[in-house]
């Protein structure tokens, strides 16, 4: 069965998503193959945590809570946008969901809950949930955004 609604499934179990890498400041240095280096470079097989920027991850480190693991070598050159990498997320799937216009702001890594009415396709909308649950917002939502605004959410997120 094919659905023709606003919902978009990125990938199903286990979800792999291309994400921007937060690798710190770039230093130009001709002694390096790439012409320089990042302050905190990411590589394949590193555990990553959500950064404060939409769809961006950073190395988990000793105090970070892993959201997934890098499964590719970083792609792209240094730039303001950073490089990208494929991340195997610790959850069941990623789905773009519509957020209610009256929802409180949702930060990257925040939780959402389902409301049974409303939305562009009258299929229900999501709002901020103050309690930890099995969801994690992969992008932020600002209170009062335009009707129909949606963000990618990781469902079945593992809690550590």
pLDDT digits (tens, 9 = 90+) for 91-100: 998 999 999 9
Judgement on whether residues 21 and 85 belong to the same structural domain of the protein? yes
- Residue the block writes with tokens 């499934």: 9
When pLDDT is cut at 50, 70 and 90, the band that residue 80 belongs to is: low
Judgement on whether residues 20 and 83 belong to the same structural domain of the protein? yes
In a domain, 21, yes or no: yes
Structural domain that includes position 151: 93-155
Judgement on whether residues 72 and 85 belong to the same structural domain of the protein? yes
Non-local (6+) Cβ contacts of 33 within 8 A are none
Judgement on whether residues 74 and 32 belong to the same structural domain of the protein? yes
In a domain, 145, yes or no: yes
Judgement on whether residues 81 and 143 belong to the same structural domain of the protein? no
In this prediction, residues 146-160 reach a mean pLDDT of 87
Number of domains in the chain: 2
CA within 13 Å, CB half, 100: 17
The residue among 7, 19, 14, 17 whose CA lies nearest residue 96 is: 7
Give the model's pLDDT for residue 128: 94
In this prediction, residues 47-68 reach a mean pLDDT of 88
99: number of Cβ within 10 Å? 26
In this prediction, residues 44-72 reach a mean pLDDT of 90
**Range of lowest pLDDT (38-47, 74-83, 109-118, 138-147):** 74-83
When pLDDT is cut at 50, 70 and 90, the band that residue 113 belongs to is: very high
In a domain, 2, yes or no: no
Non-local (6+) Cβ contacts of 104 within 8 A are 127, 128, 143
């Amino acid at each position: 069965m094919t659905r023709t609604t606003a919902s978009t499934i990125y990938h199903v179990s286990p979800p792999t998503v291309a994400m921007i890498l937060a690798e710190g400041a770039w230093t130009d240095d001709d002694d390096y193959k790439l012409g320089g280096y990042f302050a905190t470079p990411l590589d394949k097989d590193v555990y990553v945590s959500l950064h404060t920027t939409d769809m961006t991850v950073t190395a988990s480190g000793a105090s970070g809570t892993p959201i997934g693991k890098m499964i590719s070598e970083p792609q792209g050159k240094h730039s303001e946008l950073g490089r990208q990498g494929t991340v195997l997320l610790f959850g069941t799937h990623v789905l773009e969901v519509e957020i209610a216009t009256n929802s409180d702001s949702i930060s990257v890594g925040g939780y959402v809950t389902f409301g049974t009415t409303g939305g562009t396709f009258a299929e229900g909308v999501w709002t901020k949930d103050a309690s930890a649950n099995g969801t994690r917002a992969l992008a932020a939502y600002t209170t009062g955004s335009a009707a129909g605004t949606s963000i990618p959410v990781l469902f079945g997120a593992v809690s550590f």
